[in-house]
Structure 1
Amino acid sequence: MGPAPLSAARRNGPMLFVSGQVGIDPLSGALAGSDITSQTRQVLENMKSLVEAGGLSMADVMKVGIFPVNGDDFAAMNAVYAEYFDAPFSARATVGIRLNDPRLLVEMDAIAMERQA
């Protein structure tokens, strides 16, 4: 099976759409760790890299979808998430899921938008 038919991020005008990111380092292919804290940090570092490569910043992220495997991990995930965003915070939704790799604990996607003058 080849690579997934998707782009990590796509920009259209002022908007940037970031595909779901998981706790895997894109350069090494290694899992960031076996706990929600390390995986959440890697997810958000992946997201940040893509947002910045699109010419935007984390302050431009308007919407985040959060997809944890275990609802009991929410507080720890949320603590790391709070390190990456300042007020006014992005809109977000959290929906529990099962990922295709049992080692993965959380996935997040995002929509960022260039600020209007």
Structure 2
Amino acid sequence: MTIQQIISPEVTEPAPGMWSNCLKVGDTIYIAGLTARDKQLNAIGNGEYEQARVIFQRIEYLVRAAGGSMADIVKINIYVTDIAHREQVWKARREFFEGAFPVATLVEVSALAPGILVEIEATAMLGQGGRP
């Protein structure tokens, strides 16, 4: 089985030699922890809801570039700097998933990159999105 890097024109890739945003191994898609930053690496979005929404949209772009859909996502890990604002992340999540949601982990961390309040990583199984 080969590892294929998946790139979407809507998602800025890190500098060469850093990491990959998305890799496809067989029918499994691994998406790195994404944040809400512009091309100059400045934080975008005011608050957890807006940042999470930007991140979920980027995850969708990468999953689609790999030939899947958000329904194929089976696992998400969410990192927040203030767990008291988790409802804002969940509000954004509900805009991208329906039916049986992916399994999820939510963890409060002491810090992320400057201005970043949320980071989300995801795993998807292509063609497996037929859940109720």
Structure 1-normalised TM-score?
Answer: 0.87
Please, which runs of 5 or more residues in structure 1 have no aligned partner?
A: none
Which region of structure 1 is more displaced relative to structure 2, 28-37 or 44-53?
Answer: 28-37
Which region of structure 1 is more displaced relative to structure 2, 86-95 or 30-39?
Answer: 30-39
2:23 aligned with 1:10:
yes
| Structure 1 residues 80 and 7: CA distance shift in structure 2, 3 A | same
* Aligned pairs for 1:31-46 within 5 A: 31-46=43-58
| Structure 1 residues 25 and 51: CA distance shift in structure 2, 3 A | farther
Please, which runs of 5 or more residues in structure 2 have no aligned partner?
A: 1-13
Supply the distance in 2 between the matched residues of 1:13 and 1:99 (Cα, whole angstroms): 34
Query: Relative contact order (alpha carbons < 8 A, sep ≥ 6): 1 or 2 greater?
Result: 1
Q: Deviations over 1:67-97 (max 9, x none)?
A: 1110111011111111100112111111111
Percent identical across equivalent pairs?
25
The number of residue pairs the alignment matches comes to 115
Supply the distance in 2 between the matched residues of 1:36 and 1:79 (Cα, whole angstroms): 10
Could you say what secondary structure the match of 1:95 adopts? strand
Provide runs of 4+ in structure 1 moved above 3 Å. none
The root-mean-square deviation of aligned C-alpha atoms, in Å, is 2.1
| Structure 1 residues 7 and 19: CA distance shift in structure 2, 3 A | same
* Aligned pairs for 1:24-103 within 5 A: 24-25=37-38, 29-103=41-115
**Deviation at residue 100 of structure 1 after TM alignment:** 4.0
